[in-house]
Amino acid sequence: MNVMTAVRAASDTTTVEHFDVLIVGAGISGIGSAYQLTKQLPDRSFVILESQDSFGGTWLTHRYPGIRSDSDLHTFGYSFKPWVGPPIATADEIKSYMGDVIAENDLAGHIRYRHRIERASWSSETNLWTVEAVRTDSQEPVTFTANFLWMCQGYYRHSEGYTPDWKDVDKFKGRIVHPQLWPGDIELKDKTVLVIGSGATAATLIPSIADTCAHVTMLQRSPTYFRIGRNAIELAETLRQLQVKEEWVHEIVRRKILFEQDAFTKRCLAEPEQVKKELIGQISAILGPDYDVATHFTPTYRPWRQRIAFVPDADLFEGIKSGKASVVTDEIDRFTEKGVLLKSGRELAADIIVTATGFNLCMLGDIALDIDGKPLDFADTVTYRGMMFTGVPNMAWVFGYFRASWTLRTDLVADFVCRLLTHMTTKGVNKVVPQLRAEDHNMPLLSWIDPDNFNPGYMMRNMHLLPKRGDKPEWQHSQDYWTEKDEFPRIDLDDAAFVYG
């Protein structure tokens, strides 16, 4: 099983390589999954196909000034590799950390860069996926077969960001850039910059360019919650002073952060008004009593219905306080030659407009999937715990958490997949397909995520494309790390939800 076989297709000269497991994407999920596979099932052959020319995923794609994590690296980093820097990390620091994981675990030889997967077809005759990719450098088609597809392609389209359809955009005489495709040649010095959006991207970008440009304005339709804190963890500092080993520091700090995040999430549900008051109070304390926090920093939704960006050392608010950055809360009516005209009638002039307006959700890396020749419509499936899908054999998707670090789920899914693959070997079977059990047939089928619980724009715009959710724990992505960490290891692999063949 550990020997990679290369066979020549009978009908043509295309070389088809076979692997036990094919991992899609060399982002933080793909590399973490590969690590777990090598440790837990070292006899399995595997390959990682990545369309870009290096690893990193999100941290490679996004190159705008100031790009950094918005969750701490003790939990966004891997459980097995201590994070030794400040909790909020830059993209370069994250890539360097991932590079160390690749080097220390000999993963480089397993990664094929510049391989964009376009199609994956399951055959019930061979119990194999046939994966067709294109080499982005030579446009050469390449084909692989694999027993299991491990989808680590993230959740948004890397090649483009989301830009709303504004009126008269073409009239604007300045430059428009999307942070996801940040141009290397842009000159911000002494320019007036308008950033449209108020999510984590805007909150990161604005303080990092505020000193360079003449002025930067954040234009938001509605306010967002932020958390402010020092970019340091006192407990980590104390443990290091005591010369505690980094492995221990990582584990202890991880547990502390997870404990506190759990408590915070529960408080957001139990006493949303109090949490709201505290979050807004942190901002008022910096901006002073005369600043209009009611208009600019008081969201209408309850805390945690959308991701809350952490603002290290309050840099965004310090920028506003200094007058280098400002906030306008209004709606765009249309673009003008000089900038944007707002619904209030005010015109905001700018040399450069940055559209920090989010992502385009992307289903399974834009890969056309079919099962025995029948195209797979992902929206017709029901998810098994947000990682497998009814009617889709031998496939798992790493879709992380919104309220906790994404990577926490990478580890949980990896443990599950490795256990499942071992179980299949023990049973002597080649195929596993989730299916609704007899008791599930009258179960209501709901949207992937409950919009009342979590409702960011990119999810709401595309929810109809995502798999369905049931009303039982087996058939939903709970978004609850604290429950899943106990439940996943106990999943009964002989439950009727799994059909083997």
Positions in the binding site for ligand FAD (CB under 6 A): 24-30, 49-52, 57-58, 62, 69-71, 76, 116-117, 152-154, 158, 200-201, 365-367, 398, 400, 405-406
Cβ contact 32:160 at 8 Å? no
Dist. CA 419–CA 158, nearest whole Å: 31
Q: Please say which residue, 256 or 437, places its beta carbon nearer to ligand FAD.
A: 256
Q: Please say which residue, 30 or 393, places its beta carbon nearer to ligand FAD.
A: 30
Cβ contact 275:267 at 8 Å? yes
Dist. CA 455–CA 301, nearest whole Å: 10
Which residues partner with 177 through β-bridges?
Answer: 354
At its nearest, how many Å lie between ligand FAD and the CB of residue 168? 28
Element (H, E) at 33: helix 28-40
At its nearest, how many Å lie between ligand FAD and the CB of residue 194? 20
Burial class (CB in 10 A: 0-12, 13-18, 19+), 12: exposed
Q: Please say which residue, 145 or 192, places its beta carbon nearer to ligand FAD.
A: 145
247 Cβ partners below 8 Å, 6+ apart? 82
At its nearest, how many Å lie between ligand FAD and the CB of residue 200? 6
At its nearest, how many Å lie between ligand FAD and the CB of residue 295? 26
At its nearest, how many Å lie between ligand FAD and the CB of residue 154? 2
Q: Please say which residue, 200 or 340, places its beta carbon nearer to ligand FAD.
A: 200
DSSP 122-163: EETTTTEEEEEEEETTT--EEEEEEEEEEE---SB-TT----
CA distances from 414 to 37, 61, 102, 150, 485 (A): 7, 24, 17, 9, 12
Residue 289: alpha-carbon gap to chain centroid? 37
Dist. CA 304–CA 431, nearest whole Å: 39
Query: Encoding tokens for residue 259?
Result: 């404990």
Strands (DSSP E) along 189-235, which ranges?
A: 192-196, 215-220, 226-229
199 Cβ partners below 8 Å, 6+ apart? 224, 307, 309, 356, 358
Q: Please say which residue, 145 or 201, places its beta carbon nearer to ligand FAD.
A: 201
228 Cβ partners below 8 Å, 6+ apart? 282, 283, 286, 310, 311, 314, 317
Long-range contacts of 3-7 (CB under 8 A, 24+ apart): 3/45, 4/45, 4/47
At its nearest, how many Å lie between ligand FAD and the CB of residue 289? 32
Q: Please say which residue, 340 or 367, places its beta carbon nearer to ligand FAD.
A: 367
Q: Please say which residue, 272 or 456, places its beta carbon nearer to ligand FAD.
A: 456
At its nearest, how many Å lie between ligand FAD and the CB of residue 430? 24
At its nearest, how many Å lie between ligand FAD and the CB of residue 338? 29
Q: Please say which residue, 71 or 208, places its beta carbon nearer to ligand FAD.
A: 71
At its nearest, how many Å lie between ligand FAD and the CB of residue 47? 11
Query: Encoding tokens for residue 430?
Result: 């080649």
Cβ contact 129:145 at 8 Å? yes
Q: Please say which residue, 57 or 319, places its beta carbon nearer to ligand FAD.
A: 57
At its nearest, how many Å lie between ligand FAD and the CB of residue 112? 9
Residue 69: alpha-carbon gap to chain centroid? 11
Q: Please say which residue, 75 or 476, places its beta carbon nearer to ligand FAD.
A: 75
Q: Match 């017709």 to its residue by tokens.
A: 380
At its nearest, how many Å lie between ligand FAD and the CB of residue 371? 18
Dist. CA 80–CA 78, nearest whole Å: 5
Q: Please say which residue, 69 or 121, places its beta carbon nearer to ligand FAD.
A: 69
